[in-house]
Amino acid sequence: MKESSREKLRRRKPRRKLEREKNSKQKKKKKTPELALSSSLALSPAFDAAPSPLPPLHCPNTHLLFLSSLFINPPPLPPQGGDGYCGFATALHLSARGYAVAIVDNLARRSYDAQLGMETLTPIASAHERVKTWNGISGKDIELMIGDVCDFEFLSAAFQSFKPDAVVHFGEQRSAPYSMIDRARAVYTQHNNVIGTVNVLFAIKEFAPEAHLVKLGTMGEYGTPNIDIEEGFITITHNGRTDTLPYPKQGGSFYHLSKVHDSHNIHFATKAWKLAATDLNQGVVYGVATEETTAHPKLVNRYDYDGIFGTALNRFVVQAAVGHPLTVYGKGGQTRGYLDIRDTVRCVQLAIDSPAAPGEFRVFNQFTEQFSVNQLAEIVGSEGRKLGLDVRVQSVPNPRVELEEHYYNARHSKLQELGLEPHLLGDNIVDSLLKFAIQYKDRVNLELIKPAVDWRKAGAAPRVESAAVASRK
């Protein structure tokens, strides 16, 4: 009996398209140069070692369609590059390990910054320049397709052109505060994220039914229930009957709720169309450097520290570097799962290398450790003082509607069972991040540090210029 292409991929021997084999034979084999760190990127001890030899290729010649940023109904601004914090680092990681990668992106991410008067801590090159730089120094060939995944005609053409074996879907508006600025951005977030994902599902069904979908979700879908959080499903007994059901969802913003809708839609598509899908419910990511993003100054990753796109630990690090009090929301007992960006890229690879079966909807909780906001502030404060920084902690009114003291215990064993060896948050990691932030502290806009988006005040009237800056009253 002839073996299916998905069966080949499941035993880590991916299918090869006949036309690609024909084309590849016509090309001369390129010699891959070694990746070397630029001397201008002094990232401190945890990051400044030369890249280690790449591990054995698990899926050589696997073709990955990497859906990066989406943006529908854009403001009247010229596109300025859409390579995201986790997305571009993951694309480079996969490319370096032998996967054929195509990035689908409409260059939206930095237009959010342009709307709100924000800027990443690090000076980053355009998406085109970064891809060109990577291709030049690595000898690989990432393909960049410019277009909107909410445009199904474009997406259909991308699928038919590239013929993916796996689809990595990071292409969504990722900020809870952004979705709570005003009605327009709440609607945009829901429309962009949900419709984009539905388009991806139909594209896989029509043009790549054997492709494995790896979708980036969020631990925020679960909320903070007073019971243990399972990985996607929970077995319950009610009135004498037992069933295994999707774990209850309690999204805490219009962004989180868009992710909940995505999960339901993907689960339905796996049942109706026998698609294979893995939902990675990711925790809060920290860090900035991966082996690939430190290979050249033009590959440096973005680092958000503002109150809209900045994550808790990354914000605290910048606040400590510039002498601003660490802004703890409310009581500071809010507890979440966290992971290093180096583990983010590895988790995606693990999901690709061991794909779901046809008709299977898998859920992996993608984080490595749990911390409260107070614990993070204590860790940053301790390491900052070792560097001679005057680190203080300030409790500020919580702009979010959430429990500030609660039970939190989430399972996260499935990725480690697949081989994840986590980078845990140690003193050297925080020390490295602090030194990195100090290196770029002259680029910090102090007006962006305090939280400016209040869940309770989101209204129908649009907020643009002032949305990222806290009221001075």
CB-count burial class (<10 Å; 0-12, 13-18, 19+) for 316: buried
CA 236 to chain centre: 31
**Residues lower than pLDDT 70 in the chain:** 1-61, 68-83, 464-466, 471-473
This prediction's pTM: 0.87
Q: Is 414 a catalytic residue?
A: no
Q: Is 218 a catalytic residue?
A: yes
CA dist 90 and 292 (Å) reads: 9
CA dist 222 and 412 (Å) reads: 13
Question: Which amino acid is residue 21, in one-letter code?
Answer: E
Question: Which amino acid is residue 2, in one-letter code?
Answer: K
Catalytic annotation, pick one of 255, 303, 305, 440: 255
In this prediction, residue 463 carries a pLDDT of 81
CA 415 to chain centre: 16
The DSSP output letter for 144 is E
Do the beta carbons of residue 214 and residue 99 sit within 8 Å? no
Q: How many CB atoms lie within 10 A of CB 157?
A: 15
The dihedral over CA atoms of 263, 264, 269, 272, expressed in degrees to the nearest 10, equals 150
**SS3 for 436?**
helix
CA dist 308 and 175 (Å) reads: 7
Q: pLDDT for 335-391, tens place per residue?
A: 999 999 999 999 999 999 999 999 999 999 999 999 999 999 999 999 999 999 999
Catalytic annotation, pick one of 62, 122, 189, 218: 218
The DSSP output letter for 195 is I
Q: Is 259 a catalytic residue?
A: yes
Q: How many CB atoms lie within 10 A of CB 205?
A: 15
The HSE-up count of residue 367 (CA atoms within 13 Å, CB side) is 24
Length of the chain counted residue by residue: 473
Catalytic annotation, pick one of 85, 197, 247, 259: 259
